[in-house]
Chain A
Amino acid sequence: MTPIFDLNLLLTGTYHDWLVAGLITSLSLTGISLALALPLAIVIALIRLSPVKLLQWSGFAFVEAIRNVPLLAHLLFWYFGAPELLPTALREWLYARNVEATSAIIALTLYTAAYMSEDVRSGIRSIPGQQFEAARALGFSFVASMRLVVLPQALRVTIPPLISQTLNLWKDTSIATVIGVAELMYQAAKVESATFRSFEAFAFASVCYLGMSLLITGAAGWYQGRFPVRTA
């Protein structure tokens, strides 16, 4: 007679290892994509705020093209479509490695960067223009005034929305299951089909997603308490 909720299944043994491996993959996907998306987002935000019209437009086009297409379609394109466009040698090199995870990281990074760049941009715009003008008048270049005067102030305003984008990134990693990345959702479904204990498998995944989400939300709250936005 098996219990209604078999906790042991989750705490020890093969299935436990599968699920934990999935959790680690999900966390790595989040970490790597975040590390790549942040600098990319700052560059895109700066491009959109640059004085050159052509750059502004290409930044706008990039952000809108990515945000208006579901992540699932991005993943399908990067996994099934994009490798076909590569030269054969490079494609074979890629297929010999972890092509699923690579495609997922590319898609997640671009998707997250597009959203984050909008937060960074509005953060920068919240800093009064006089600050930038004063920096320029003192002889700083465009890049130097951004880097030394505007960005340090803008970042403080931007971090709370960036944390909530990180939360979205964490939840979005679940969609990578579509292209067969062995992340948490994939592993939960695998345990489900191996044991028919769907309740346990999905409860584990849900608790992990929810727990991590609460941690991230908590981090945002802590940051806002610790570093409140100073108004000049």
Chain B
Amino acid sequence: MSSFIEIRDLEFSYINEIEEPPVVTEVLKGVTLDINKGEFVAVLGHNGSGKSTLAKCINGINIPQKGSVSVDGMSVADENNLLDIRQKVGMVFQNPDNQIVATIVEEDVAFALENMGVDPKEIRRRVDEALKTVGMYEYRLHAPHKLSGGQKQRVAIAGIIAMRPDCILLDEPTAMLDPKGRAEVMKTIKELNENGVTIVLITHYMEEAVQADRVVVIDGGEIVLDNEPKKIFSQVNTLKNLGLDVPQVTELCHILRSEGVDLPDDVITEEECVEKLYELLG
């Protein structure tokens, strides 16, 4: 059986036609990637590495110029598939203020469903359900601009889950949030994934990537690493050379190891670090 998202030798360039001759910026240079249903994949890479461009290729905002992308067996290159694909794969962007269209929370969440022509009774049910899922049900009659960043971002996510997508792509959804907002959004993402929604999370926060099942690292438009988080973050020097970082606990163990302290190289969570240091010092 083929995988849910299937990307083969994908190439994509931005072409600025205003310039004479047109300026071509090559972004993706042959990406092949499979994502299975139910996976939680974090995508890392420095600014300009091609992460966001890749995400936009998955739900057909960008159409592949070479190679192919298909979602649940449907090619994004076929325009007839786009509506179906975008219902299967929802996207959440960085700035919550750019994604909210209505003046009342529940109307915003209903927006896509109304466009899809869903029956009003069903819309009511799905909106309530989606708002409960992200923990924003009691705010359903509030004005979105009065919410905090984390709350707005959760409303944006509710608008996507109301469509019942199989997969959600999130492009740095926590970049503009305070620590509490970040924690709220991550908790929501993890709960969705536990309920079977495939998650593709683009992030610059290593503490978030650690929570995924799988980490894909992009550099210069190509996939350079693709593995489970422990196997990725144990490569501290490789990541730093790619302009990335590791969680503080991984960095600490890395420094201590280089001083000859007996510690494993794949400590990536707070719990593991506490446990290992306790064994060492206790």
A and B associate: no
Q: Which A residues are within 8 Å of any B CB, using their own CB? A: none
Q: Which B residues are within 8 Å of any A CB, using their own CB? A: none
